[in-house]
Structure 1
Amino acid sequence: MTDKREPGSPLRVLHATEAMGGGIVSIVDSISRRQVEAGASVTVLYTVRPDTPSPEVMRERFHPDVSLREPLSGGSTLRDIPLMMRELRRLARRHEYDVIHLHSSIAGVAGRLALVGVRASLFYSPHGFAFLRESSPALVRSFYRTLEQIFARKGTLIVTSAGEVELARERLRAPRVEYLQSGVPESSLVVRKERASGPVLVTMTGRITYQKAPWRFAAVARALEGRARFLWVGGGSAEDAANWIGDAPVELREWATPDELEDIFADTDIFLFPTLWEGMALSLIQAQGRGIPAVTTDVVGNRDTVLDGVTGFVRDTDEQLIEATRRLIDDPDLRRSMGAAAVERVRESFTDDGIGEDSVEIYRRHRA
């Protein structure tokens, strides 16, 4: 790529995704914000899906110096992906950006396919490889893995957990893999104080989807009914809630604003996160950084975050999740010690204060 700009000009970065909802919003907000603070010129390109915040909410959330392009919307995913591919190819051919960073498995494949034959500095973060999705049949997961292997040589893979680094190197044979520490601002970390009264509160945050295994949360709530309150914070369809949570003693709340979520975390005693697969779950890191012990599943991302027996429990079966949650409900001293250890763990390994400068340095090392 020929750069005809003046020496010392800001690095021009484009972040692109078709999955602008949930955790992707948080990570793109975090990295773009820190990159602007590091002196880069940053733009975000995205398509609209049901859980995508409105343009007004996006503008309010993102750093004022981050340029948000008008969302692409063809009315369906099948139309949105070609729209994004054409736009990426157009922008790359015009050399409008020095770096293109793709977020999500679908954007990663579509973007790299769109730019075949175009000289561009490409970077890709899956935020949970599609071939790990247990909701897909084995044949489909194998197809996803094959696509990842084929495109692994185009661009540089940037991942945010040690588990993803291992997968990228051993299963995908990716020649260029970089680890980028992500998480929460160090200023947000706090050792929470135990509430003086009221029942123990067990919380989960996330959309009611197959990936988040709401039926497992419901199973724990049923088994421990009367010993604690169980709260699920996150949107989802009424049909999914009825099918997967049903009549379990679980309080349901629509998605909370960041300020509302802080209030919820302040009241939460245990974070129960029974998901089936992850990349690096920001909500889990947020809870641990607020001094909340976690009970979670033994999958990539979750086991990278929670130190079993130290900051919470990492378990496999429903019975093990129930027993670990019961243990924390019954032992306030254990909750306090694990919560304090969780804050220090996040402070050491999962803050995002350096994500801007670190990512820009990765870009510079691998620019085409």
Structure 2
Amino acid sequence: MRRASVGLCERLERRTLLSFTFESAFAIGNHGEDKSQAVDVDESGNVYHMAWFDSGQVDVDPGPGSVNVGVGHEDRGVLGTYLSKVDSAGKFAWGFQLFPNDAGRTFGAGLSHDAAGNIYASGSIVKDNIARIFLSKFSPSGEELWSNISSSTKSGFRYFVASDAAGSAFITGWFDGSLDLDNNGTVDLVGDGAEVDGFVAKVSSNGSVEWAKSLRGIDNNAFVSPKAIAVDSLGNVLTTGWFDQRVDFDPGPAEAIASTEHSIATYVLKLDGSGNFKWVRTTESMGTTIDVDAAGNIYTAGNFDGSVDFDPGPGKRLLTSPPPDQADPGAFISDVYISKLTSSGDLVWAIRAADSDSIVAGYPRI
């Protein structure tokens, strides 16, 4: 039996990496394949968990009770997503399947909460090879307040969400073709012919799209693959992800073109609260997560191999991963990096988290 399990650890902030203090753990799952996708913890210690399951029913209550959600039959390949909440003591509060009546396959991707305790869940629904974005808002008691499901001429996939103190939601992801984020008949974004373009958008507390900005690939085979998003105390938006070839990261009339030298690279992008470009920084790595502290310092983590300079400025901070196993020259050794940038995008520090095998930040290998 494979289960998705969740533990609690302290978050990265200020100048140091905080030590692990194990508090609790619980298991949720069925006899199919379950994949944990997002965890969020609010200021009261409530834990919100979102995961995929591929068949049958899932008991989302980790305690002695039973709360089953799911398709109710053994159709492997019918993939759904559930969202659940437990309190700070690990007691089950609520849980349910997202969009149980939709015929598509639901892929949850991101979770966030606002100051009022409302929860935002994002992801995509795939049907007939077309992926539609969803962004849903739930009350602290699990009541659905609104849901937006996009329409698109082609496709989009894996959308990540952050929220601010005013209850606005910020999402990032990628798309192909044209995109109507809230399916109100108004096209919010049109792709520029690259393989896939990235986007960043702000959605008000009532679900209406306030603005949407695209990150445009210049070359035909260029792509942008956003992986995470955060909002600082001033309302600035920070995103990170991967890109290849030449990409214009300024969504306005000016240009901020970055290009890769050898392979996929990481970008860290800062926009103001209106979606205007502030700066972008790049490294030859694969960023997967981002956070920001009260002073506006930015923390990112991801993966790299070989020797990489993590200073996006004129200085140099070289991190080096182990070479491939000489007994197996084809073996790929990847290390985790963690870096800190100032609010202006200057490097403060970068460190390597080593292991004897390949390790992937943000993507636990079971």
Question: TM-score higher than 0.5 here?
Answer: no
TM-score by length of structure 2 reads: 0.26
Higher relative contact order (CA 8 A, sep 6+): 1
Normalized per residue, the structure richer in helix is 1
More strand by percentage: 2
